[in-house]
Structure 1
Amino acid sequence: MAADQRIASYSDFLKALLSDRERVFEEVVEGVGLGSKLRYALLTIVLPSGFFGLVAGAYSGPAQALSAGIKLPFLFFATFAVCFPAFFVVQVLVGSRLRLLQVVVLVFGALALTSVLLAAFVPITAFFLITGANYYFQHLLNIAIAGVAGLFGMYALHEGLSVVCEKRGVYPRKALTIMRAWALLFAFVGIQLAWSLRPFLGDRNEPFRVFGSYQGNFYAAIIYAVNKLLQGEEKPAAPPGKQDTIPRFRGFVIPPIDTAVDSMHRRKRP
């Protein structure tokens, strides 16, 4: 590969990631600019995925938007931290000659592509947000977008490892089967972590919370949302209840302080 064709800037990295991924994979295998590619991939994971979370969370207000914008990039890194050690060790055991940093860059490159695809769907999410799509539709739409983006990201990783296997001979073909199984594991771990970090979309009728306390699981929630959407139901509005006069700070109840009159009228203990 000619020196003038090397990926030398962040814009080069993005262009290659979208339209010339084989170039990225070959440079990673050659060990060219691994540190810079890792920085570019990390930046690409944080910014686009954070932007998608920001727009999706805007359904419930600014606080939820900010929360989702932070939690979505964290979800990528947390899932990577849980799944990557087993993936790398198994790859070494089956004969991979890729170094640790090379595999890290390849996986983060796939996650960066996933993040870019999420950002590409932001106009669709924003359109339905502005036009007043109901809660269940927004919920399912964002899950579908995340699923499509994740699928393309894992496909890119598989494609990259295939190139390494065929052209460089440093990655055994049987390891590709393990990679497919690992991609499923990555998806299941990501789903479970996302369920633990919920809500991302939030509920307009409830006070803002960083983490929810819902019952059930992700799959039951999907079935429930589909049923509600097919029935044409929307989230019920919060009922006008009695005004709470007890002072609160972010959900923490501050007990009222006894006055002198209260103390005089309180029954004395025997």
Structure 2
Amino acid sequence: MATDQPITSYSAFLRALLSDRERFFEEVVDGVALGSKLRDAVVTIITLSGFFGLVAGAYSGPAQAVSAAVKLPFLFFATFGVCFPAFFVVQVLVGSRLRLLQVAVLVFGALALTCVLLAAFVPITAFFLVTGANYYFQHLLNIVLAGVAGLFGMYALHEGLSVVCEKRGVYPRKALTIMRAWALLFGFVGIQLAWTLRPFLGDRNEPFRVFGTYRGNFYAAIIYAVNQLMQGDAKPAALPAKHDSLARFRGLPFSPIDTVADSSHHRERQ
């Protein structure tokens, strides 16, 4: 039967992530086509997270869009590189019988699912982009969408390890508690790396920069953005007086509606 065929094609990989994750996890435990699954997960992370970054960064123009499309996949892989060694070693110490490649495929599968959700959220980001949502709203919207996708991805990983624990006995139940703590660590490391790699959205009223030089931290920036949004302030920074920010959109296939910040910028120049 077709349903008994191992997950080896990319379409089967995506279907398994979305609607048959238990089968996906069981195949990983059995060591079935691990290389194929790892490759498909990596491709998914690069393409779909890059797609989300491309659309989010388009707020500030083509250069920022390309920069965000490159930095977002790098963020996923860098966070994995920092957090995975400790996770695997601790799992072995508490009695896990999963091999290194199996654990890596499980984690990459969860990250791939996160990126599938990010891609599904792209129409929401694009809608507010073309209808003129201000900087602070776009900033908070993208953070919320990324947070929701990340939480669901970690939930899927926890669900998969629970299946492994209950049905196969190769993963100790006490390791699930460690996995939850590791998920929090993964989130904090990801947030810090994202803050280091900023900007992803960028300020359309300032020259393009690959990396920002902002002070403070991620949490202070969130509080500030919420406060500015509640006050109705659409300006992310002092507006420059020597260049027209809208010229940065000439390379896009569409012309986004001006935000309040851009409109006020034009009034100041007149």
Q: What interval of TM-score do these two structures reach, taking the shorter chain for normalisation?
A: 0.7 to 0.9
- Residue by residue, what CA displacement relative to the aligned partner does 1:126-169 show, whole Å, maximum 9, x if unpaired? 00000000000000000000000000000000000000000000
Tell me the distance in 1 between the aligned counterparts of 2:192 and 2:168. 36
> AA paired with 2:57?
G
Secondary structure (helix, strand or coil) at the match of 1:213 reads: coil
Question: Structure 1 residues 205-214 or 232-241, which shifts more?
Answer: 232-241
Tell me the distance in 2 between the aligned counterparts of 1:32 and 1:57. 38
Structure 1 position 2, deviation (Å): 8.1
Q: Which residue of 2 aligns with 1:124?
A: 124
Is residue 225 from structure 1 mapped to residue 225 from structure 2 by the alignment?
A: yes
Alignment of 1:200-215 (within 5 A): 200-215=200-215
The answer to whether the 8 A contact 2:8-2:37 is kept is: no
> AA paired with 1:17?
L
Tell me the distance in 1 between the aligned counterparts of 2:156 and 2:188. 18
> AA paired with 1:67?
S
Q: Which residue of 2 aligns with 1:81?
A: 81
Structure 1 position 8, deviation (Å): 2.4
TM-score (norm 1): 0.88
Structure 1 position 241, deviation (Å): 4.8
The answer to whether the 8 A contact 2:83-2:185 is kept is: yes
- Residue by residue, what CA displacement relative to the aligned partner does 1:57-76 show, whole Å, maximum 9, x if unpaired? 00000000000000000000
Q: Which residue of 2 aligns with 1:240?
A: 241
Structure 1 position 6, deviation (Å): 1.4
Q: Which residue of 2 aligns with 1:35?
A: 35
Q: Which residue of 2 aligns with 1:144?
A: 144
The answer to whether the 8 A contact 2:38-2:108 is kept is: yes
- Residue by residue, what CA displacement relative to the aligned partner does 1:70-109 show, whole Å, maximum 9, x if unpaired? 0000000000000000000000000000000000000000
Structure 1 position 220, deviation (Å): 0.2
TM-score (norm 2): 0.88
Root-mean-square deviation over aligned CA pairs: 1.4
Q: Which residue of 1 aligns with 2:154?
A: 154
> AA paired with 2:14?
L
Secondary structure (helix, strand or coil) at the match of 1:201 reads: coil
Tell me the distance in 2 between the aligned counterparts of 1:166 and 1:4. 22
Flag the 1:73–1:200 CA change in 2: closer, same or farther, 3 A.
same
Structure 2 unmatched ranges of 5 or more: 244-270
Tell me the distance in 1 between the aligned counterparts of 2:96 and 2:242. 63
Instruction: State the percentage of identical aligned residues.
Output: 85
Provide the aligned length of Structure 1 versus Structure 2: 242
Higher gyration radius (CA): 1
Structure 1 unmatched ranges of 5 or more: 243-270
Tell me the distance in 1 between the aligned counterparts of 2:232 and 2:241. 23
4+ residue runs of structure 1 moved beyond 6 angstroms?
A: none
> AA paired with 1:167?
K
